[in-house]
Amino acid sequence: MMMRYALIGCGRISPNHIVAAQKNNLDIVAICDVNEHNMKDKILKFRLPASVKCYTDYKQMLEQEKPELVAIATESGRHAQIALDCMTIGHANLIIEKPIALSLADADRIIETAEREHLKVCACHQNRFNKSIQKIREAIEMERFGRMLYGTAHIRWTRDYAYYSRAKWRGTWEQDGGALMNQCIHNIDLLRWMMGDEIEEVVGMTDRLNHDYIEAEDLGIALIRFKNGAYGIIEGTTDVYPSNLEETLYLFGEKGTVKAGGQSVNVIEEWRFSDILDDPEEVKRMFHENPPNVYGYGHTPLYADVIAAIEEDRPPYVDAAAGRRALELVLAIYQSAATDSIVRLPLGECKTTDFTGRFGGAREI
């Protein structure tokens, strides 16, 4: 039997979810949005059948449709409450768009509730499924790098007035955070994951240089010391003029150097190992994607994994704990920047609204 699926939030990223659901043969029973126009638009664009019900109230949708899998793609500040309701009212497994929550306490509640209710929760860090990233991860797991020495994540993108004026929640402390929390969290997740997850300390600086109409940062830079002795550098911004430049992930080990690049780490640009297990030119040719936008092709394989995780009763490849680790690292950078100090992990309770007012208010959009 096809798995009953519903989507909550039919905005900018929702097409990736609908396509992933269709390609994975999910039974789309409902879509939900407080904005009816956004729902109608998706029904038409994706030729969703008349059997797909539209709801403006997700609780009603959960009670009436009883989906087994729900994707949450609303503004980030609403993820946690909706996720908790989906699990407790609807007993649904979840794919939660990144970041899974805006506070560590909320992320913990999501993890605890999923465990208690025996439900699967996936954090939607779909870039982990890029062909390039999967190939790099395989090299990590085969220990081809030897000891990891350091890694860097650069995100040099553009987000302009038009982007923020389309959805006023973006760039607010209550519903979003800034460049690091929204645009850069994918690569921040990748860096932490590739470098062994465990972090000793973080020092960061953030600023709002060129977006006085948002509350949060448009530039963040950070240094990380991992528990295994390796170092990390993060540089993420939405200040690049006039269009997205690149998103790169460099990994340096004692026996290997790799660079994933392109607009969103979809391309392997350097592949150098002391072993001769493969031909670097062949690897660069094979593990290469050229998606139409920075969201890439990862939602479809991420959905396939979550469906398999439910069927096989195992954790998803990107579980809620992984989502929490990415969130923790961004919040640690925020805290270091705000307090002008080195922050040691694990971080105690911290949330984006702790930084309200940090760069002054925002000019009315």
Ligand X SMILES: NC(=O)c1ccc[n+]([C@@H]2O[C@H](COP(=O)([O-])OP(=O)(O)OC[C@H]3O[C@@H](n4cnc5c(N)ncnc54)[C@H](O)[C@@H]3O)[C@@H](O)[C@H]2O)c1
Which residues sit at the interface with ligand X, rule CB under 6 A?
A: 8-13, 32-35, 38, 58, 73-76, 78, 97-98, 124, 126, 167, 182, 295
Nearer residue to ligand X within complex by CB, 167 or 223: 167
Backbone angles phi, psi at 245, to 5 degrees: -100, -60
CB of 326 to ligand X, least distance (A): 12
Q: How far apart are the first and last CA of the chain?
A: 48
| CB closest to ligand X, residue no | 11
CB of 241 to ligand X, least distance (A): 21
CB of 87 to ligand X, least distance (A): 16
49: alpha, beta or left? (left if phi > 0; alpha if psi -120 to 50)? beta
Task: Check residue 178 and report its DSSP letter.
Answer: -
Nearer residue to ligand X within complex by CB, 60 or 274: 60
Calpha distance 48→132 (Å, rounded): 32
Distances (CA, A) of 163 to 73, 127, 270: 17, 22, 33
CB of 310 to ligand X, least distance (A): 20
CB of 127 to ligand X, least distance (A): 8
Neighbouring residues of 24: CB distance < 8 A, sequence distance ≥ 6: 300, 303, 304, 307
In this structure, are residues 190 and 235 in contact, taking their beta carbons and an 8 Å threshold? Answer: no
Task: Count Cβ atoms within 10 A of the Cβ of residue 88 and give its class: 0-12 exposed, 13-18 middle, 19 or more buried.
Answer: middle
CB of 296 to ligand X, least distance (A): 7
CB of 96 to ligand X, least distance (A): 8
Nearer residue to ligand X within complex by CB, 98 or 208: 98
Nearer residue to ligand X within complex by CB, 10 or 148: 10
Nearer residue to ligand X within complex by CB, 38 or 257: 38
Nearer residue to ligand X within complex by CB, 163 or 252: 163
In this structure, are residues 79 and 96 in contact, taking their beta carbons and an 8 Å threshold? Answer: yes
Task: Count Cβ atoms within 10 A of the Cβ of residue 54 and give its class: 0-12 exposed, 13-18 middle, 19 or more buried.
Answer: middle
